[in-house]
Amino acid sequence: MNVYISATLRNFFGRNAKVSVTASTVRGVLDFLIDEYPESKKIIFDESGEIRDFIKIYIGDEDNTSSDKWDRAIPQDTEVLLLPAIAGGAPNDSIISDERRKEVSFDDSEVERFGKHLLLREIGVKGQKRIKAAKVVIAGAGALGSAVIQYLAAAGVGTIKVVDFDEVFLENLQNQVIHTTRDLKRPKVASARDTVRNINRSIIFEAENARLDSENIIDIISGYDLVIDCTDNYKARYLINDACAFCAIPLVFGAIYQYEGQVGIFNLNGGPCYRCAFPAPPPAGLVPTCSEGGAISPLPGIIGSIQANEALKLIIGIGEHLDGKLLVVDSLYLHTRIINIEKDSKCPLCGEHPTITGVQEFDYDDFCGLKENQEEAAIEGFTPEELAKRIEDQDSITIVDVREPHERAILRFPNAIVIPIGQLVRRMNELNPDQDTIFICKQGQRSILAINTLREAGYTGPLYNLKGGLDAMKDIVFSHEGAWL
């Protein structure tokens, strides 16, 4: 049978999208994969030998992650899917009430503007009025948000609130098509506001130039009909999911990585939440983020358009949607699949005995591995300036690059030893324990994981992290060079 490997896991499986496996059970599949790809054991299982919380195992569209299903016979010609967080059934009524719909009216220009919607039997005048009455929060004005914001504005959503704390940088323009060159260094929400005004000036656009956190999220989303998650990090995804659950607001989720995307609907009418699908994120640094791994330009447009489509169907109350399901799109190999997400009775947020009672009581930094614990606090590091000085002084140091091959193709660090994280333990004899060893990656997270991995394996030499990674070194100029590293 074939095992489909999600894009975020392929580095642990020889970069293969599919692996042909001789096995008849899930347990046999996992044993085969670990024998064939020993480095995959670290990504699939935690230190206690349990399947990691951010990984799901599907046979067809059935969740077989629970170990009590691992010895069941797998039907022939059935594909097995290893799906990590990167992170439909028939709809209920519209999320916009009839009372609010009846309060809306159109002028002649709106009748002309939305004529193609009015011609659709499923939308018509009533549906378009619901769209105009809707109030939607879009978290993130980046790659996914670019498509979602523009399509919902073009569709006539009456009130759109966009939340983002960042500014527009040149590297954003490859796939964040809501921004242009003239918007460089401007707040993304300001750039998005100008684009929406050019699409439809009658829309109420609310720009929230802020970083979502446990202190402000409830106030930001309260009173809105729908939240669309277009963020790019695990902390924001769990925070948004939890806040939506507490406010009883449905959530349209989307995520992208390289050529793969996911879309789902959570917290709708007692349905599963994001935690039911992925109880925990991967350890910080173990799986590269979208900013580290990249994404092909059209992918956020594809996934964001599907998010906008799901949002409009919820607002209008039509069609089938992704409530309790997850759509997985692989744009490189043209694979799409819809898998079922079951509500977890043990979910700490929406299960039978919830333990998460409020966003302000939950430590999202600690949960997502972003909070320095005692072990991580002991990790020493060099600033870019300090490392540059040691290189200039020709100190006896070892620099280990743990980035992926495509990252090194863009920017090669001179005289660095290349050792992927999965190979560190078996190759630690290549390091000199009497010499300072500095680990580098793109943003400084994977290098911390590399140091902890070596320490757990018993390596006793001095280990250091490049603070902020190579992104922080972009302005460093060496005396013998005319440009940064």
CA distances from 37 to 9, 29, 84 (A): 12, 12, 17
* Residue 441 falls in the annotated catalytic set: yes
Structural tokens at position 71: 């010895």
Give 28's contacts (C-beta < 8 A, 6+ positions apart).
21
Q: 230, 273, 276, 290: which is the annotated catalytic residue?
A: 290
Give 83's contacts (C-beta < 8 A, 6+ positions apart).
6, 55, 56, 57, 58, 326, 328, 339
Q: 244, 276, 347, 441: which is the annotated catalytic residue?
A: 441
Q: In whole angstroms, give the CA distance from residue 156 to residue 172.
A: 26
Q: Is residue 100 within a helix (H) or strand (E), and if so which, with residue range?
A: helix 98-102
Structural tokens at position 280: 């925990």
Q: With CA atoms as reference, report the closest residue to 153 among 199, 207, 221, 91.
A: 199
* Residue 276 falls in the annotated catalytic set: no
Q: In whole angstroms, give the CA distance from residue 253 to residue 87.
A: 8
Helices 143-155 and 188-199: crossing angle, nearest 10°? 30
Q: In whole angstroms, give the CA distance from residue 70 to residue 238.
A: 28
Q: Label residue 139 exposed, middle or buried (CB < 10 Å: 0-12, 13-18, 19+).
A: buried
Structural tokens at position 54: 């951010």
Q: Label residue 166 exposed, middle or buried (CB < 10 Å: 0-12, 13-18, 19+).
A: middle
Q: With CA atoms as reference, report the closest residue to 63 among 331, 334, 333, 325.
A: 325
Q: What single string gives the DSSP state of each residue in 242-304? A: HHHHHHT--EEEEEEEBTEEEEEEESSTT---HHHH-SSPPPTTTS--HHHH-B-THHHHHHH
Q: Answer whether 435's CB lies under 8 Å from 349's CB.
A: no
CA distances from 33 to 10, 14, 52, 70, 185 (A): 12, 11, 15, 14, 46
Q: In whole angstroms, give the CA distance from residue 359 to residue 240.
A: 9
DSSP 1: -
Determine the residue type at 432.
N
Q: Label residue 479 exposed, middle or buried (CB < 10 Å: 0-12, 13-18, 19+).
A: exposed
Residues with a catalytic annotation lie at 290, 441
